[in-house]
Amino acid sequence: MFGGPGGGGPPHMLRQEAIKPMRTGETLARFAGYLKPYWWIGIIILAVVLFSTWTQVISPDLTGQIVDCYLTPAVAGATGGNFPGLNIADRSQSSCWLGQQPTGVTQRLIKNLVTLGGFPAPAANVALSTADRIGGLGRLILILIGLYLGSAVATGFSFLGMNWAGQHVLRNLRVEVFKQLHRLHLGYYAEHEAGDLMSRITNDTEAITQAVNFALVSVVSGAILLVWVAYTMLTKNLTFALLSMVVTPFMIIATVWFSTQARRAFRRTRQAIGDVNAELQESIAAVREVQAFSREDENIENFRQVNAANRDANVRAVTFTSALSPILEAMGYLAMAIVTCLGGLALLGKISFLGSAVSLGLVIAFMGYVQRFNQPITQISLLWTNIQNAIAGAERIFGLLDERPQVQDAAAAQPMPEIKGRVEFRDVSAAYVEDQPVLCHVSFTAEPGQAIAIVGPTGAGKTTIINLIPRFYDVTDGAVLIDGRDVRHVTAESLRAQIGIVLQDTFLFSASVMENIRFGRPTATDEEVIAAARLAYADTFIERLPEKYQTVLGERGSGLSQGQRQLLAIARAALANPRLLILDEATSSVDTRTERLIQKALVQLLKGRTSFVIAHRLSTIRNADLLLVINEGEIVECGRHEELLAKQGFYYHLYMSQFRREPQLGEAIYDQYGSDKTAEAAPTPRYIAAAKVSGHAAGHGSPAR
C-alpha cells in the first residue's frame, strides 16, 4: 500500500568518474607531504644512497688505476715500451694519480689505503718490483671488493628503510581514505560503484606501495649516479666524455615519449581494473537474483567485455614498457661501441683529444663510466613507468580525498543535548539533483513520544523525510528542528548517536550474532545484548542456531531469512536505546505471526520515544498518533487513521486498494464505510491517478528513493 523507499521508475544509472590528469610534480609533491613525518629516515636513506653511489663512481676509476699504475708498466717493460699507448715516456701523461699528489678526498683515502704500512706507491720514472706490483694490485682488488660489499649492504639498507617508511605512509593513507569514505554523504555512493571505490584502497595503494618500496629509491639513486658519473667523466677528459655521451639526448627523448604514453596507458588500466572490481562485486552480491532470472550468460558476457577492456588497457601499457627497455639497451651498447672505437683509435694512432692524452686505463675506466651512466637512464626509464602507474593511482586516491562531503558540521556546531523528542519540519524542500525537487514546502510537528506514520505511493518522498532527520542529506530550503535546534547547527555524530534506524534492507556483518546486535552499542554487556534480542523476539531462533549467540553469520547475514535479519536489526536498535526511532518498512518482510510479535516488542520499544514509521502493512501504522500522507513531495493529508478514513480522500483510496490484497484486514472498514460500490462511488480526488501509476511520483527524474 504505502510504497517502498526504493521508489519506482528506471534504476538510477551510475555516473562514471572522469579522472582529470594532474601534473606529475604536483602529485609527487603532495605525496611527499605524507613522507614528511619520517624525514629522519629519509636523511639516513639519502646518506646511504650517497655512499652506495660513491662506491659505484670510484670503482671504474680504481679499475683504470690498476691498468695504468700496475699492468701498463709491466706490459710496457715486457714489450720494450713498443706496445701502442703503453710508452713509459708517456707515463707523466697517463691517468695514474696513485703516483702523483692526490687532489681530492677520495684520491687521498685510496692512496692511504694502498700505502698503508709503508707499502710503496707507483711513482714516475721509478720501476716497481714484480712483488710490489702484485702487492699493489692485490690491495686495489681488495679495496674494490670492499667497495662492492659496502655498496650491496648500503643498497639493501636503503630499500629496507624506505620500505619501513613507505608502509607507515601507506597505512596512514589507507586510513585517511577509509575515514573519507565514512565522511562522504550517501548520495556519493549512489553515483559511484562500490567496486571502484574498493579498487582505490586496494589496487591503487598497491601500485603506490611498489613504487615507494622499490622504484622511488632506485630512481633517486639512479639520478644521483647519473649526475655524479657525468661530472666525473667531464672532469677527467672533457672531449672523450662528450663523445661518449653523444647518444644520451636520443635516450632522453625516447624515455620522455615512452613514459608519457605509459602514464596515459596506466591511467586507463587503473580505471579498467576499477570497472572489473565493480562488475565482480555487483555480480557476487546479486548472485541470487542472477540465478533466479537465469541471467548467468548475460552477466558472463558483460564481465567478458569489461575484462577485455582491462586486458587491452594493460596490453597497451605493457607494450610501451616492453619497447622502451630494448631501445635503451641498444643505445647503451652503441655508446660502449663509441668509447671502444674512439679509445682504440686514440691508442693505436697515438692521438689526443684536444691535447688530453688517452691511456688504456682511461679507456677501460670510461667503459665502466659509460656503463654506469647508461644504467641509471635505463633504470629510471623502466621504473619511471612504474612510478607513472603509481601516480595514476595516487591521482585517483587524491581525487577521492578531495571530494567535498555535502553534509559537513558547521564551524560553530555544538554537540546535540539529550533529545527530548520534538521534531519539526519547517517549510522543508529537498532535492537530490539540482532543480529536481523531491520534497516541496513540507511542514509538520511531532511531539515527544508520538508515533508518526508516513504513507504514500512509491517515490512520493517518504524515505527522503526520514533521511533528513539524522541529516544524511541537507535540506535545500527550510529547516529541520529537533527540540528547537536546527540539525545543521549541531554535530552529526552527536545527533545520530541518539537516533535508532531499522532499514528495510537490513545489513548484517560477517561476525557473530552477538557482535551484530552489539553494533548498536559497542559497550553493552552480553546480558544487555540478550535482553535486547528477547525484546525483539529474536532469541527464539537465535537459540536454535549451532553456536547460538556466538554463531558467525555469512556475508550480509546469509543463512538467515529476511524476517530473522530484520529481527536482529530491531534488537540492534533496541540495544542502542535511541531517543528517536526510525522504522523504514521494518516489518514488511516477516510473516503475520512474527509481525505480531514485533508489534508487541515495538510497543515497549516506542514508549517515551518519538518514532517515524514507514511500512507497506497497515498493522504497523494503525495505532500511529499522526499519519502524514505524502504524494509528489507534498503532504496532502494528515491526521489519525480513523479521521483520514472518514474523509474518504487520498489515504482512504490507498487503504481500500490495500484491502483488496488483504481482505481479512478490511472487514471492520467494510462494515463502517460500506461496500466496494460505496468506495467506487466516493468522490475521487484529481491526484488519485498519480497514486495508481507506480514509479511516476515526486522523483521528477531523481534517483529512486
The predicted pLDDT at position 299 comes to 79
| pLDDT tens, position by position, 352-378 | 665 566 777 778 888 888 888 877 877
Q: Is 415 exposed, middle or buried (0-12, 13-18, 19+ CB in 10 A)?
A: exposed
| pLDDT tens, position by position, 636-695 | 888 887 888 888 888 888 777 764 454 444 444 434 444 343 333 333 333 333 333 333
Query: The domain spanning residue 232 has which CATH number?
Result: 1.20.1560.10
Q: Is residue 261 part of a domain?
A: yes
The predicted pLDDT at position 79 comes to 47
Q: Is residue 511 part of a domain?
A: no
Cα angle 571-575-576, degrees, rounded to a multiple of 5: 120
28 vs 22: CA distance, rounded Å = 10
656 vs 665: CA distance, rounded Å = 10
Q: How far does CA 437 lie from the centroid of its chain?
A: 33
Task: Spell out where 470-593 has E strands.
Answer: 477-482, 485-486, 499-502, 580-584
Cell of 287: 548472485
The predicted pLDDT at position 149 comes to 92
Per the listing, cell 532469541 goes with 539
| pLDDT tens, position by position, 400-448 | 887 787 777 778 888 888 888 888 898 888 888 777 888 888 888 888 8
Q: How far does CA 64 lie from the centroid of its chain?
A: 51
The single-letter code of the amino acid at 638 is C
Phi-psi region of 701 (alpha: psi -120 to 50; beta: other; left: phi over 0): left
Q: Is 52 exposed, middle or buried (0-12, 13-18, 19+ CB in 10 A)?
A: buried
Beta bridge partners of 614: 584
582 vs 611: CA distance, rounded Å = 6
What average pLDDT does this structure show over 162-191? 80
Phi-psi region of 637 (alpha: psi -120 to 50; beta: other; left: phi over 0): beta
CB-based contact 387:172 (threshold 8 Å): no
- In this prediction, residue 91 has a pLDDT band, given cuts at 50, 70 and 90, of very low
What's the Cα-to-Cα distance from 654 to each of 597, 649, 651, 674, 684, rounded to whole Å?
26, 9, 5, 16, 11
Higher pLDDT, 311 or 699: 311
Q: Is 493 exposed, middle or buried (0-12, 13-18, 19+ CB in 10 A)?
A: exposed
Per the listing, cell 597497451 goes with 316
478 vs 401: CA distance, rounded Å = 30
CB-based contacts of 557, cutoff 8 Å, min separation 6: 506, 507, 508, 516, 564, 565, 568
| pLDDT tens, position by position, 19-67 | 334 566 677 777 777 777 888 888 888 888 889 888 888 888 888 888 7
Beta bridge partners of 356: 353
| pLDDT tens, position by position, 606-642 | 777 888 888 666 666 777 888 888 888 888 888 887 8
**What phi and psi values does residue 576 have, to the nearest 5 degrees?**
-70, -20
Q: What is the DSSP letter of 683?
A: -
Q: Please count the other Cβ atoms lying within 10 Å of the Cβ belonging to residue 221.
A: 25
Q: Is residue 186 part of a domain?
A: yes
Which residues constitute the domain of residue 330?
A: 24-401
Phi-psi region of 359 (alpha: psi -120 to 50; beta: other; left: phi over 0): beta
Sign, Cα dihedral of 121, 122, 127, 133 = positive
Higher pLDDT, 305 or 682: 305
**First and final C-alpha spacing in the chain:** 16
192 vs 403: CA distance, rounded Å = 12
The predicted pLDDT at position 606 comes to 72
* Among 144-148, 293-297, 537-541, 678-682, the least confident range: 678-682
| pLDDT tens, position by position, 188-206 | 776 766 767 777 777 777 7
Q: Is residue 290 part of a domain?
A: yes
What's the Cα-to-Cα distance from 612 to each of 446, 452, 491, rounded to whole Å?
9, 5, 21
C-alpha closest to that of 536 among 579, 500, 494, 510? 500
- In this prediction, residue 351 has a pLDDT band, given cuts at 50, 70 and 90, of low
Is the confidence at residue 589, as pLDDT, over 80? no
The predicted pLDDT at position 94 comes to 54
CB-based contact 427:478 (threshold 8 Å): yes
- In this prediction, residue 126 has a pLDDT band, given cuts at 50, 70 and 90, of low
| pLDDT tens, position by position, 95-124 | 677 777 777 788 788 888 888 877 777 765
Q: What value does the mean pLDDT of the chain take?
A: 74
600 vs 594: CA distance, rounded Å = 10
Q: Is residue 352 part of a domain?
A: yes
Q: Is residue 700 part of a domain?
A: no
The single-letter code of the amino acid at 593 is R
Q: Please count the other Cβ atoms lying within 10 Å of the Cβ belonging to residue 86.
A: 24
DSSP 377-411: HHHHHHHHHHHHHHHHHHHHHHHHHTPPPSS---T
Q: Is 325 exposed, middle or buried (0-12, 13-18, 19+ CB in 10 A)?
A: middle
Is the confidence at residue 321, as pLDDT, over 50? yes
| Number of domains observed in the structure of the chain | 1
> Structure pTM?
0.61
Q: What is the DSSP letter of 286?
A: T
96 vs 90: CA distance, rounded Å = 11
Q: Is 7 exposed, middle or buried (0-12, 13-18, 19+ CB in 10 A)?
A: buried
The predicted pLDDT at position 24 comes to 66
* Strands 580-584 and 610-614, sheet pairing: parallel
Is the confidence at residue 569, as pLDDT, over 70? yes
562 vs 59: CA distance, rounded Å = 73
Rg (CA), the chain: 39
The predicted pLDDT at position 679 comes to 37
CB-based contact 423:580 (threshold 8 Å): yes
509 vs 581: CA distance, rounded Å = 21
Q: Please count the other Cβ atoms lying within 10 Å of the Cβ belonging to residue 541.
A: 17
Q: Is residue 424 part of a domain?
A: no
613 vs 455: CA distance, rounded Å = 9
- In this prediction, residue 125 has a pLDDT band, given cuts at 50, 70 and 90, of low
The percentage of residues in the chain with a pLDDT greater than 70, rounded to a whole number, is 78
CB-based contacts of 390, cutoff 8 Å, min separation 6: 207, 208, 210, 211, 212, 215
* Among 3-7, 258-262, 317-321, the least confident range: 3-7
The single-letter code of the amino acid at 350 is K
Highest mean pLDDT among 328-337, 340-349, 658-667: 328-337
Helix (H) or strand (E) holding 674: none
567 vs 536: CA distance, rounded Å = 6
Is the confidence at residue 477, as pLDDT, over 70? yes
* 252 HSE (CA, 13 A, CB side): 8
- In this prediction, residue 597 has a pLDDT band, given cuts at 50, 70 and 90, of low
Cell of 642: 480513523
The predicted pLDDT at position 84 comes to 53
Q: Is residue 515 part of a domain?
A: no
The string over 158-196, giving b where at least 16 C-beta atoms fall within 10 Å of a residue's C-beta and e elsewhere, is: bbebbeebbeebbeebbeebeeebeebbebeeeebbebb
What's the Cα-to-Cα distance from 58 to each of 14, 129, 224, rounded to whole Å?
59, 26, 14
The single-letter code of the amino acid at 218 is S
Per the listing, cell 557476487 goes with 284
Higher pLDDT, 113 or 386: 113
